[in-house]
Amino acid sequence: MRIGILGTGALAIALGGAWTRAGHEVLVGGRSPDKAAAAAARMGGPAQAVAPAEAVIERDAVLVAVSWPGLPGILRAAGAADGSLAGTPLIDPTNAVEHGVGELLTRDGRAAAEHIADWAPGSQVVKAFHLFAADQWSESRKPVTVVLAGDHDAALRTTADLVRDVGAQAAVLGSLSRARQLEEVAGFVIGLAFSGVDPTSAIPRVPTPATTA
């Protein structure tokens, strides 16, 4: 696939590196050209640094991996308001939560993913990859499930393929209106972890057809 990445930090490098190793063509752009060049080098192989506006052209999927306060700016730089992302699966891993506390910062009852859909008109936003730390994708780890939410079946399928290509399995929770729930789960996990409680110990084991078969 032809993948664009907006953002040059830890998650961009981890996922971009994993997708590059899986044989995808990755373009990465951020507000700093030097950081984009360093990120592309760390992804390895043929990953290339470009301007944000170029990173979203003719892409099968775009990942926007930027801190919450930087999202409107990077999407503006990518031409999103003018429709540059229209029709493109736009993968949103944002945790718009207060560091160490986990409270949602959107404060208006809407998910960060829904704001991103507003800032990138016509894009096909899929919430994904927000729950696991970046090193899940750069180091050899136990396989996990990445839960997705989105309104567009084709974009959900594309994202599920990209989840599979980093060694995980995908599960769709529902439409983008469920993204808020996924974001609250991250807040729950972060809040408990910072208070010293293992979040997995606070979730009941529920029998499923897979575990009872």
Ligand X SMILES: NC(=O)c1ccc[n+]([C@@H]2O[C@H](COP(=O)([O-])OP(=O)(O)OC[C@H]3O[C@@H](n4cnc5c(N)ncnc54)[C@H](OP(=O)(O)O)[C@@H]3O)[C@@H](O)[C@H]2O)c1
Q: Site residues (CB under 6 A) for ligand X?
A: 7-12, 30-32, 35, 65-70, 73-74, 93-95, 130, 133-134
Residue with tokens 């800032």: 119
Which string of b and e fits 45-63 if b means at least 16 CB within 10 Å? eebbbbebebbbbebbbbb
Residue 123 Cβ vs ligand X, minimum distance, rounded to whole Å:
17
Q: Are 114 and 180 in contact (CB under 8 A)?
A: yes
144, 142, 89: which is closest to 120 by C-alpha?
A: 89
Nearer Cβ to ligand X (130/180)? 130
CB of 136 to ligand X, least distance (A): 8
Report the residue number, 44 or 87, with the smaller CB distance to ligand X. 44
Residue (48 or 210) nearer to ligand X, CB: 48
Q: Whole-number minimum distance, CB 161 to ligand X, in Å?
A: 19
Report the nearest approach of ligand X to the CB of residue 157 (Å). 22
Rounded Cα–Cα distance for residues 149 and 58 (Å): 23
